[in-house]
Chain A
Amino acid sequence: DTGVSQNPRHKITKRGQNVTFRCDPISEHNRLYWYRQTLGQGPEFLTYFQNEAQLEKSRLLSDRFSAERPKGSFSTLEIQRTEQGDSAMYLCASSLVGNYGYTFGSGTRLTVV
């Protein structure tokens, strides 16, 4: 297992376009988290899944954001009608239930122009 994998590493998109990011967690991890990090700030929680169930969503996750984790394996995060304020690093992490030792992916850096 090579850890948590995120694709793409970088994405530049025009305002108003839709984008989708993918996260492949460590295979035996049943929890998967999405965080967003802007320049000079710590990561902020967006949402998390336990297996395929999305159990918590932050108020940061507006209606334009949707996340899925079909079959409890990889996850996708889609942003519709992107805005310049969506520009950030989107980080994915995974862990085991009862073990809070997170493993983060390398992130997807989104730039909305």
Chain B
Amino acid sequence: GIQVEQSPPDLILQEGANSTLRCNFSDSVNNLQWFHQNPWGQLINLFYIPSGTKQNGRLSATTVATERYSLLYISSSQTTDSGVYFCAAPLLYNQGGKLIFGQGTELSVKP
């Protein structure tokens, strides 16, 4: 089945630093999504980005579907950005929208 690989597995940043998280997928997907899981376990949908670039405040995401990867940029990081970031996508021809998740990148932002 499809493989979704994220890198790096973990990341420690000083507050104010920028970072880039990467998501590679092994097969054609559509409707790639990025999620943030906070320390209490809540998964928040950050971006729904099948292709191109989107920005939301200090966060932006780029998906290059033809090359099977997506990037999440975090600028001027804050301690509240800490948590685990997941990318996920349904298979291209899966009509049910079942998401395949990567293993996540655990981000820790230090004050």
Contacts from A to B (Cβ < 8 Å): 31, 33, 35, 40-45, 48, 50, 55-56, 89, 91, 93, 95, 100-104, 106-107, 109
- B18 at the A interface (CB under 8 A): no
A41 to chain B: which residues have CB within 8 Å?
103-104
Residues of A within 8 A of B45 (CB): 101-104
* 19 A-B contacts (beta carbon < 8 Å): A31-B96, A33-B97, A40-B103, A42-B88, A42-B101, A45-B98, A48-B96, A50-B96, A55-B96, A93-B43, A95-B97, A100-B30, A100-B33, A100-B90, A100-B99, A101-B48, A102-B97, A102-B99, A104-B42
Q: Are A56 and B98 in contact (CB under 8 A)?
A: yes
11 new A-B contacts, CB < 8 A, other than A45-B100, A93-B43, A103-B45, are A33-B97, A41-B104, A42-B103, A48-B98, A56-B96, A95-B97, A100-B48, A100-B99, A101-B45, A104-B35, A104-B42
With A100-B48, A101-B33, A103-B45 known to touch, is A33 a contact of B98 (CB < 8 Å)?
yes
Q: How far is the CA of A46 from the CA of B61 in the complex (A)?
A: 28
Are A100 and B96 in contact (CB-based, < 8 A)?
A: no
**Which B residues touch A31, using CB under 8 A?**
96-97
A95→B40 CA distance, assembly (Å) = 22
Q: CA A42 – CA B101 in complex, angstroms?
A: 6
**Chain B, interface residues (CB within 8 Å), range:** 20 to 34
Contact with A along B85-101 (1 / 0, CB 8 A): 01010100000111111
Question: How many Å from the CB of B13 to the closest CB on chain A?
Answer: 20
A residues less than 8 Å from B86 (CB atoms): 42-43
Within 8 A of A (CB), among B33-49: 33, 35, 40-45, 48
Determine how close the nearest CB of chain B comes to the CB of A109; give it in whole angstroms.
7
How distant is B80 from chain A, measured CB to nearest CB, in Å?
17
CA–CA, A41 to B94, complex, Å?
A: 23
Contacts of A56 in B (CB 8 A): 96, 98
Q: Which residues of A contact B99 (CB under 8 A)?
A: 33, 35, 43, 45, 100, 102
